[in-house]
Structure 1
Amino acid sequence: MTPTKLIMIGAGGHARVLLSALGRAGLWPDACVAREPPPDAWPASIAYLGSEDALTSLDRDSVRLVNGIGTVKTTTARRQAFERAKALGFTFASVIDPAAFAVADAVIGEGAQLIAGAVIQTGSRIGANVIVNTRAVVDHDGIIGDHSHIATGAALSGNVTLGRGVHVGTGAAIIHGIDIGDEAVVAAGAVVVRNVAARTLVAGVPARALKAMTPG
């Protein structure tokens, strides 16, 4: 049987965070693809294959991908990279930092990433290609839609539901039982006490709608 190779998409800041998580888990990428060559600080042991177009020449059955593209406000670029690779027939590896905690009954989707200090509590479901970033919390029975990003230090109380492609900013807090619609953005530091409509940017304490977001 051909050994499985691990290929990283991207070589920026989020990709370097994932390298740390993978290394602590005893894993390491064989190569990466990215729009531009990696920075000088990129490990020399990880070969640069070129842009994402290089994926077309790889054997889908002997490669697993890691999505190293992060998100700052919208999750569109990360989602698109995932969907392009899936359309080519690739599978994504989930990344769970040994310093993250997920209860045994939590469901973790394909390509999801739990960064150091992340906490996933009982009954929660984490969708495909989701990032639960450093010290972010999803409390009991949370449902996190595909391609969403819960940024550093954000806290979701119990029974919170995020749609697809939601970005929850650094240090935001969402109270119990709130629903957040697809592709909504919760600004850093916001405190969400009411449901949020799809493709809406909310900010403030308490959070209020500021504008509609362009569909991604």
Structure 2
Amino acid sequence: MMPPEHPPSGAPFVILGAGGHAKVLLSLLQALGAQVKGVCDPGLAASSIPMWRGIVVLGGDEALEQFDPSHIALVNGMGQVVGSSRRRDIFVALTARGFRFPALVHPAAWVDASVILEAGVQVMAGAVIQPDATIGANTIINTGARVDHDCIIGSHVHVAPAAVLCGGVKVSPGAFIGAGSTTIQGLSIGEDGKVGAGTTLIRDLPAGHLVVGSPVRTLESKN
């Protein structure tokens, strides 16, 4: 496994955003014993709130201007919302400016030593990633999700809580795998494809399509 990357020289983490996903990431960082410098959130800054969950509110997005990118590490606290590219846009823009998003793995997750984790991957508590899987940049493997052997997951994907990807599944960038869904072995999910919560996927999903319900129905996504 590519180990969780800690910044050199003890550089601290800065969390971007203060919503529900950011809360879970703060808990992950605390479980790792990581140093957290603060949080950047426009809403908190606009309301002149100085502290959030025991850490300093550094300001809005502009607060990053005060930092040398080599002296801090960023944590993308924006959750992946269906139909929104904001999480992806933040990662791409700030990476281009030289900021780093280390891969983070909760100590209560299990990740095989052969797994490749790219920059910004977030593996939450209870998740399991089996041998020879690859997880692309800025992807979330959320609470209790299961990624089996030889899965290849692209960048900017969200595997939601308790979702299961059986062996050899290929997931293209931007896909959303809904909570409690199951994707059987060897299937492919196209770019920006969406697997609805609780769905069992039994055939390849084309790019930009949504599969929902029981019985399964495949729809062309409008997003």
Q: Taking structure 1 as the reference length, what is the TM-score of the superposition?
A: 0.92
Q: Which amino acid aligns with 2:63?
A: A
Deviation, 1:31, is: 1.2
| Residue 36 (structure 2) aligns with | 29
CA contact (8 A) 1:193 1:206 kept: no
Counterpart check, 1:153 vs 2:162: yes
| Residue 218 (structure 2) aligns with | 209
Distance 1:89 1:166, change over 3 A: same
| Residue 137 (structure 1) aligns with | 146
Distance 1:66 1:129, change over 3 A: same
* Bigger mean CA offset, 198-207 vs 160-169: 198-207
| Residue 194 (structure 1) aligns with | 203
Tell me how far apart the structure 2 counterparts of residues 130 and 58 of structure 1 sit (CA, whole Å). 25
5+ residue gaps, structure 2, are: 1-7
5+ residue gaps, structure 1, are: none
Tell me how far apart the structure 1 counterparts of residues 151 and 74 of structure 2 sit (CA, whole Å). 26
SS at match of 1:210: strand
Deviation, 1:40, is: 9.2
Once the two structures are superposed, what CA deviation does each residue of 1:109-146 show, in whole Å capped at 9, x if it has no partner?
11101000000000100111110001000000001100
Counterpart check, 1:43 vs 2:53: yes
Structure 1 residues 1-216: aligned runs within 5 Å: 3-37=10-44, 42-44=52-54, 46-74=55-83, 76-214=85-223
Aligned-pair Cα RMSD in Å:
1.8
SS at match of 2:39: strand
Distance 1:122 1:62, change over 3 A: same
Aligned length: 213
* Bigger mean CA offset, 108-117 vs 56-65: 56-65
Q: Which amino acid aligns with 1:43?
A: R
Once the two structures are superposed, what CA deviation does each residue of 1:6-44 show, in whole Å capped at 9, x if it has no partner?
110111101111111111111142111122107898323
